[in-house]
Structure 1
Amino acid sequence: MKQTWRWFGPHDLVSIDDICQAGAHGVVSALHHIPSGAVWTPEEIAKRHTEIATMKDGSASGLTWDVVESLPVSEAIKRQVGPWRDHIAAYKESLRHLAKSGIRIVCYNFMPVLDWTRTHLNWRLANGATCMRFDLTDFVAFDLFILRRAGAEDDYPAAIVADAKTRFSEMPEDRRAELERTVAFGLPGSVENLSLDDLRGLLATYAEIDADTLRANLVAFLEEVVPVARDVGIRMCCHPDDPPFALLGLPRIMSTEDDYAFVMRAVDIPENGITLCSGSLGVHPGNDLPGMMKRWGARVHFIHLRNTTRESSGLPCSFHEAEHLGGDTDMVALIEQILREEARRKAAGRENWEIPMRPDHGQDILDDLNRKGQPGYPAIGRLKGLAELRGVMTALSARLDQLAE
């Protein structure tokens, strides 16, 4: 696997110098300042390439921009309303510009309204580290008593509604305000958060859109853009829902292996692929991550390695971001399947046999606790995760090489 690192651009508190010292070999980035539906121009793309290639003192970093995460799909495209056809045309043009700059992998998602959802951005663990967490009771309290979404009470079991009422009645005002900010945090890298009115307005636009409709819109989008990606040499890969269950009455269509199987078969072109995020998919107890990698490895173009721990049974559930080797996903078994897929690709003569991987998220530890960086993207916590993953990769690679002799 090529070891990469997500970077949010010049304003990221984790610098290109830090990434070099962490031992990553490539960078995952995006042009977050460009609105969804607009064209990524060659000039802006070239600027980001230069920023990644340059350390603070002006010397060469040796890093390359390997993956775009993400080239956003507009809400208009997801709902097929307004200027959605113009947005698809802009998306195709952006793909052409990215390909000319040397980019070969583009990650995207098709989650409506919210890109990811948590109730805590710095939940304290017993050892003093902090992590992101989704507390189901807190989320229901937000939905019922802060957002006041119409019909929300009908979406939850009576016992959870009762717990949420008690939780909210005991919740201090500062925690209520924090919960509101956290749920409406917006996209990773975004400079704008959603207000409650913004969120209510966006939710209302999905009133007539169910999972089947949203899935059909995804397939229609892919039928338009994947042939262009194929022609210019780009592989596209869809990120799973985070978390992998319905929230706020919104449809979820990329939460399970079956969801991916449907989309891979509907647009059966090799460039239509998967971002295998072990954290997002791992929250769903029905997802077998090593098995999914074994069955769909040929279509996996990009990998996020992180771990989560479910705190309750069934779905929806509470969960928190665990250490990379410490959650519900068998990370060693998953990495073994990734390495086996790479070996198959190499034996078949594929030039792109190596799959980019990044250590996704991380707990805030040590000086991370003072930096107050991008939630989920601390310097030291991710460095620890990358080191642990690198150790597993090294050990398994040596064993697999011995078996191949």
Structure 2
Amino acid sequence: MMLMHQTMRWYGPHDTVSLSDIRQSGATGVVTALHQVPVGELWTIEAIEERKQLVEAAGLTWTVVESLPVSDDIKRQSGDFQRHIRHYQESLRNLGACGIRVVTYNFMPVLDWLRTDVYYPLPDGSTMLYFNRLDFLVFDLFLLKRPGAESEYPADAVNKARTRYESMSEAAQRYLFTNMMLGLPGSDDAFTAAQVLSELDKYQGIDAKKLKDHLFYFLREVVPVAEAAGVKMAIHPDDPPYPVLGLPRIMSTEADAADLLQAVPSPANGLCFCTGSFGARPDNDIPAMLKRFGDSIHFLHLRNTRRDAEGNFYEADHLDGDTDMVAVIREVLAIQKRRGISLPMRPDHGHQMLDDLKKKTYPGYSAIGRLKGLAELRGVEYAIHRAAIY
């Protein structure tokens, strides 16, 4: 059977969700990273092998890195960006030498994914990740107080945000601020407003075209190295998939993905196809994008979002959002059959539920919610495969 290679994300030895937990979920592998290595520095063979042996001792495999981060110096082409690119190239060589075959990364400036509420309560008592557009404006305009932000929004939106801000308690304001300032995945260190404002200021003069040019420059430098090392690069789309905090976002649409693949044609240049991130935009046809880019997809994040006309969206159950997950899995199986491979995938952004409500985990990455998502996805996959309807 050519089924997907089922994995879960693991944040390393300090993760509340253990390797034993992941193995019990039914996953056969993990995607992980050396979060202890500062961004821009070298991943050594010794450090990679140490992590790999830890995973394999638990009866699992590690073949996908998530993520080998790209520094803001590289994204801006400032400071130490050439040294960071050399470290990235050598890290790719070391990963290839250790048998790691897929490297995920993103090109989102300053901040990774953003949510206004990371513990939004559902009627059944579980919690989920939620992005509320109005609350985001409250954060940008009145909590972060980004210079010039007010001029970027319609006057009626600013007035609604001001009314919302004035109605919020101090505790609600602190909660929103804390959610928006979460650190990078795998880190317990939150950002400060001063840090974020300083980093935003460094992107003055960098619009979407220039940022995309910097991405393509980076890829021209690292993709040949990856290809020689037997490693495939897989870019994760923007989350949310539109500009935020005055920053450009350049991997949000089908056209963005096509531009990337055309700019640096190589079997080592491809996509981490996240159905949730792309699916948060109504103009992205997810099954059609899978069909178009199937030969360049190296890794899959299967999650579902439900959006509204105001630009809000939340993490739905894996089979119950705006994206037709049955159609997605049918297309993935067709891609695998055509290419003769098993693509690595993972469930993503599970709900906090049951006993995990009493535990501290990285938001979206509790054990039970992701186990539920994996079980649902696996069930759909097996049913489609057994019925041979792809």
Scaled by the length of structure 2, the TM-score of the pair is: 0.98
* Contact 1:70–1:106 (Cα < 8 Å) also in 2: yes
Shift of 1:111: 0.3
Equivalent AA in structure 1 for residue 283 of structure 2: G
Is 1:86 matched up with 2:86?
no
Partner of 2:315: 321
Partner of 2:383: 395
Shift of 1:312: 2.7
Q: Deviations 1:25-78 (Å, cap 9, x if unpaired)?
A: 111000111111100011111111122123xxxxxx220112000000000000
Shift of 1:157: 2.1
Partner of 1:354: 342
Q: Supply the distance in 2 between the matched residues of 1:387 and 1:35 (Cα, whole angstroms).
A: 35
Give the fraction of aligned pairs with identical amino acids, expressed as a percent. 53
Shift of 1:172: 1.0
Please, which moves more after superposition, 243-252 or 180-189? Answer: 180-189
Is 1:181 matched up with 2:178?
yes
Partner of 1:125: 122
Is 1:255 matched up with 2:238?
no
Q: C-alpha root-mean-square deviation of aligned residues, in Å?
A: 1.0
Partner of 2:372: 384
Q: Deviations 1:76-112 (Å, cap 9, x if unpaired)?
A: 0000011100000000010111111110000000000
Shift of 1:237: 0.5
Q: Supply the distance in 2 between the matched residues of 1:279 and 1:149 (Cα, whole angstroms).
A: 28
Shift of 1:128: 1.1
**4+ aligned runs moved over 3 Å, structure 1:** none
2:336 to 332, 342, 347: 342
Q: Supply the distance in 2 between the matched residues of 1:358 and 1:371 (Cα, whole angstroms).
A: 22
Please, which moves more after superposition, 145-154 or 205-214? Answer: 145-154
Partner of 2:192: 195
1:13 to 16, 33, 39: 16
* Contact 1:312–1:319 (Cα < 8 Å) also in 2: no
Is 1:115 matched up with 2:112?
yes
The size of the alignment, in residue pairs, is: 387
Scaled by the length of structure 1, the TM-score of the pair is: 0.94
Q: Supply the distance in 1 between the matched residues of 2:273 and 2:114 (Cα, whole angstroms).
A: 18
Partner of 1:350: none
Equivalent AA in structure 2 for residue 327 of structure 1: G
Q: Supply the distance in 2 between the matched residues of 1:332 and 1:342 (Cα, whole angstroms).
A: 15
Is 1:34 matched up with 2:37?
yes
Is 1:75 matched up with 2:72?
yes
Q: Supply the distance in 1 between the matched residues of 2:194 and 2:104 (Cα, whole angstroms).
A: 29
Shift of 1:134: 0.6
Q: Supply the distance in 2 between the matched residues of 1:158 and 1:128 (Cα, whole angstroms).
A: 37
Give the unaligned 5+ runs of structure 2. Answer: none
Shift of 1:191: 2.9
Partner of 1:216: 213
Please, which moves more after superposition, 21-30 or 156-165? Answer: 156-165
1:46 to 45, 49, 56: 49
Is 1:283 matched up with 2:286?
no
